Amino acid sequence: MKATPINFEVVNQKIKESKLASVGKASIREIKKLVDTIESTTGEKFIRMEMGIPGLAPVDIGIQAEIAALKKGVAAIYPDIFGIPPLKKEISRFVKLFLDIDVDPDGCIPTVGSMQGGFASFMTINRMNKKKDTTLFIDPGFPVHKQQHRVLGIKHESFDVYNYRGEKLRDKLESYLKKGNISGILYSNPNNPSWICFTDTELQIIGEMANKYDVIIMEDLAYFGMDFRKDYSKPGEPPYQPSVSKYTDNYILFISSSKVFSYAGQRIGMMVISDSLYSRRSEDLTRYYSSDQFGHAMIFGSLYSLSSGTAHSPQYGLTAILQAVNNGEYNFREVVREYEKKAKIMKKLFLDNGFYIVYDKDEDNLIADGFYFTFAYPGMSGEKLLAELIYYGISAITLSITGSERHEGIRACVSLVQRSQFPDLEKRLKQFQKDHPVNA
């Protein structure tokens, strides 16, 4: 029996019982379940880095506003599908103050988390033009978006951006777009899982391609303002959160409140449709919708079908949070910077013990410290590494399930790891390195 930080036999036994064909290929939820059972059997706490759950308390301003709204009786009333007017106004103000873009409140729509905004957009965008029936993912990405495509029966193509940073992105995008079948492009920025952030050069290229080939860019800003190398948190003051919306009018933005306001449980996000896309008419939409106007089809076709709007009280909660943020009374960055601080320490522990960062740069700059980072160990595939780390009380996910071609890589999420666990993490990584000597 090997002497590993977590009892070797128990781990073997639990892996066997889990019936997983391969731990290394397991999904986020499968890893979570396996680690839950090992933890409860051994009583040992893992360094849990598999799930991207906010590790901070929800913004209290929101909770208080929700309680007040519930007491007033909003629970009894159907909210309008397009959202309550004060929230639409605050979303419009928010994008003006933090992205420096003008969007009419009509195109600022609350959704049941960004996930629903994505689902509704994939649905609507792929029905605008008969010939354009495929989404292009700039990977690595969030696996659920591909799942959404599978359940919708919508085609998708993808590539790993790792080798196509900077100017190289142009030709790569063009190689897909010139075929004429791409309706929209999706990426997250900062990126889940790699935490790369597109530079302005890259966003400009994406915007130019959107204009040239008439495709809709879906920019997923789930980690809004969380590239902590710059301060994007001062209302109405540069620098602004970098965004493709500076370079094209063909955009929809998804701004999640889950991470930046630690509001994941209330399932409320923002979908922001540019004025020009909102009012655009497309005959092909009438195959599915009562109107040929994009904004109308999105709201009264897609969103109506999905959930008939977003729950009432979270809309009041988000309104109050945005009001405070827009008025400069609540600085979201100061709160979520805890992720940056933890990432800095954790990355160093990995680097000091023989690991390396996989997605390590944005063009010439070192990647930011934030919610996620990616790592690998010399000579090991991500699959093997993840399976091995379980015996060391460390859980995460492999990059292979995110569309990454860096098959050696693992994604680590810092949010749930407590600072009090850092000594354990260090001890376990040291032992891992000792047990897995790298041949010079």
Ligand X SMILES: Cc1ncc(COP(=O)(O)O)c(C=O)c1O
Q: What does the binding site for ligand X look like in residue numbers (CB under 6 A)?
A: 52, 113-115, 142, 188, 192, 220, 222, 256, 258, 264, 269
- Helices and strands counted in the chain (H then E): 15, 15
Round to whole Å and give the CA distance between 298 and 294: 6
Q: Which is nearer to ligand X, 52 or 317 (CB)?
A: 52
Nearest approach, Cβ of residue 114 and ligand X (Å)? 3
Nearest approach, Cβ of residue 118 and ligand X (Å)? 7
From first CA to last CA, the distance across the chain in angstroms is 28
Three-state DSSP state, 313: helix
Nearest approach, Cβ of residue 195 and ligand X (Å)? 11
Q: Which is nearer to ligand X, 265 or 379 (CB)?
A: 265
| 168 Cβ contact list (under 8 Å, min separation 6) | none
Three-state DSSP state, 83: coil
Q: Which is nearer to ligand X, 148 or 323 (CB)?
A: 148
Q: Using alpha carbons only, what angle is made at residue 253 by residues 279 and 185, rounded to the nearest 5 degrees?
A: 90
Residue least distant from ligand X (Cβ): 113
Identify the CA nearest to 169 among candidates 124, 210, 131.
Answer: 210
Whether residue 18 contacts residue 34, with contact meaning beta carbons closer than 8 Å, is answered with yes
Burial of 283 (0-12, 13-18, 19+ CB in 10 A): exposed
252 forms beta bridges with 218, 273
> Alpha-carbon Rg of the chain, whole angstroms?
22
Nearest approach, Cβ of residue 339 and ligand X (Å)? 13
Round to whole Å and give the CA distance between 437 and 241: 43
Q: Which is nearer to ligand X, 54 or 382 (CB)?
A: 54
Q: Which is nearer to ligand X, 220 or 362 (CB)?
A: 220
Q: Which is nearer to ligand X, 184 or 393 (CB)?
A: 184
Nearest approach, Cβ of residue 426 and ligand X (Å)? 27
Q: Which is nearer to ligand X, 186 or 277 (CB)?
A: 186
Tell how strand 108-111 and strand 269-273 pair up: antiparallel
Round to whole Å and give the CA distance between 298 and 162: 33
Nearest approach, Cβ of residue 308 and ligand X (Å)? 18
Nearest approach, Cβ of residue 252 and ligand X (Å)? 13
Nearest approach, Cβ of residue 110 and ligand X (Å)? 11
Q: Which is nearer to ligand X, 142 or 432 (CB)?
A: 142
Q: Which is nearer to ligand X, 92 or 256 (CB)?
A: 256
Round to whole Å and give the CA distance between 440 and 162: 27
Round to whole Å and give the CA distance between 44 and 35: 10
Q: Which is nearer to ligand X, 7 or 395 (CB)?
A: 395
At 253, give phi and psi (nearest 5°): -105, 140
Nearest approach, Cβ of residue 237 and ligand X (Å)? 26
Q: What is the DSSP string of 130-191?
A: TT--EEEEEES--HHHHHHHHHHT-EEEEEEGGG--TTHHHHHHHHHHTTS-EEEEEEESSP
Nearest approach, Cβ of residue 374 and ligand X (Å)? 14
Identify the CA nearest to 339 among candidates 270, 436, 412, 284.
Answer: 412
Identify the CA nearest to 111 among candidates 149, 138, 134, 79.
Answer: 79
